[in-house]
Amino acid sequence: MEPRPAALDIALGHGRQPIAASARQAAGLTLWAERDAAHGWRIAAAAADPAPLTPLVGTAERVGDHVMLHGPADPANAAALRTLLPNLRPAPLALATSAGFGDRLGLATPGHVDALRAVGGEGRVAPIFAQQSVRENTRTGRTPQEVLDDATLGAFLAGWAGPVGADADHLKSEADVDAHLAVGFSFFTIDPGDHVVSEADALEGAALTEAFERRPPWAALDSDPADLLRRLAGTTVDLGDRPLTFAPGELERAAVKYGGALAHVARLARHLRGQAGPERAELEVSVDETDTPTTLAEHAYLAIELRRLGVDWVSLAPRFVGAFEKGVDYIGDLGALARDLDGHARVAAALGPYKLSLHSGSDKFAVYPIAVAAAGGLVHLKTAGTSYLEALRVAGQHDPDLLHAVMRLGLERFAEDVKSYHISGRPEGVPDLAALPGTAALALLEQTDARQVLHVTFGSALRTYGEPLKALLRAHPDDYRAALRRHFERHLAPFVGAATGGPA
């Protein structure tokens, strides 16, 4: 039998209802979480003298040969934990296989940790527990600081000892970058979707020539039409199994479609790099939320020109073929997707290396093995709303009336809340709530229309029912953790075998 860790001995010897998995030792002190009837849990620490306890906020007393401190799980102590436990400070994850766990309620991180451990992902799949988009925070009313603090506290509670990242998702402005950099985020997802010209796909002949001359912001790209053609028209990219060249019109079309997006990414990347080097912050480029797929030639154009403009990035999210809709599995031809993913992975290997990022990656169980076959461990999986749906599952088990109320509100708010999402689910497809009394309402979470209506109306639901929902989850933390563990095991297991491992 292995000897019990010293941190656990101290927690068990001096603690009051210690949570054993949380016990950690740092320089000169031992930290752990304790169950607390009033608040769910609190932070405890012990040291031989008071000095190491200084960063923590709480009440201290001497107990035998230790000074004991008890303090709340609050923002001040979240910051203290990041000071005392360096692994909880978000850091770049580089080319490690990685997964983002969006948490709209701030209570899901322990379940995410449980899932990583259950599939053997600890030390293999690098986690981003703090991940929210500006759009999500606008709808939930949370701040970047709150997102980071909740993830820090959840990781501590679960005893996570590995590195973590923190994803400032779908950033569109310098102000967005600044707000997240200021509080310690490390992974910056630039979303230039507003600058993508999807109509370029249909341009031919004179219309394409005119758009190529006039549409891209050539000055911001430090180029002009003749320069681009001179540099890239004859370029061949070796994809291993085949060469990739720009067919007639492809380069012009790529510049019209993505030139504005390139300029936008370069501007925000320069802004970020002016304040934080690559050891402090890394960049993802996202063009997934657009109307038409990214061709391999367009992907190559983006990568070549980003590099020329001095942008360094760790992952890129193309718009793949088919539909990556919220809350449901992939919609489309899996054979076509396999070919598409394989091609994009080859472009990323030839012009990088960098990771392919799977946005709207929640519940895409058919996609994960295909992505691994194409890219190996060079994948970043991004999930968000599915943890919220698992919270509603727990609500349906313990308070079906609350799930009913959230569903009714979702039906009322759908027309407004769906405007920024691309989904096929519709209110008219949602089952009749009167036919789902009590816990039968859990069937809503297995039905596509209901899942998607619930998914996109989360902001309205949390403004109205957020407090009772969070109170229910705090009253049943083990049930929420178990639901998340089961659900995310299916997300993570396919990636573990090919994972490249996290940073030290």
**Residue numbers annotated as active site:** 169, 284
The identity of residue 195, as a single letter, is: H
Rounded Cα distance between 125 and 134, Å, is 25
Torsions phi, psi for 171 (to 5 deg): -85, 140
Asked if 164 contacts 502 with a C-beta cutoff of 8 angstroms, the reply is no
Q: Which helix (H) or strand (E) holds 175?
A: helix 174-181
Residues 6+ apart with CB under 8 A from 355: 95, 97, 98, 314, 315, 316, 348, 375, 378, 379, 380
Token pair in block for residue 334: 């899996």
Buried b (16+ CB within 10 A) or exposed e, 239-272: beeeebebeeebbbbbbbbbbbbbbbbbbbbebb
Token pair in block for residue 498: 């090919």
Rounded Cα distance between 119 and 127, Å, is 13
Residues 6+ apart with CB under 8 A from 239: 296, 343, 346, 347, 350
Residues 6+ apart with CB under 8 A from 434: none
- CB atoms inside a 10 Å sphere around CB 369: 15
Asked if 486 contacts 492 with a C-beta cutoff of 8 angstroms, the reply is no
Distance from the Cα of residue 5 to its chain's centroid: 33
> Whose CA is closest to 177, among 283, 36, 45, 311?
283
Residues 6+ apart with CB under 8 A from 13: none
Rounded Cα distance between 343 and 346, Å, is 5
Buried b (16+ CB within 10 A) or exposed e, 196-233: bbeebeebeeeebeebbeebbebeebebebeebbeebe
Helix (H, G, I), strand (E, B) or coil at 338: helix
Residues 6+ apart with CB under 8 A from 140: 104, 132, 458, 459, 462, 466
The identity of residue 4, as a single letter, is: R
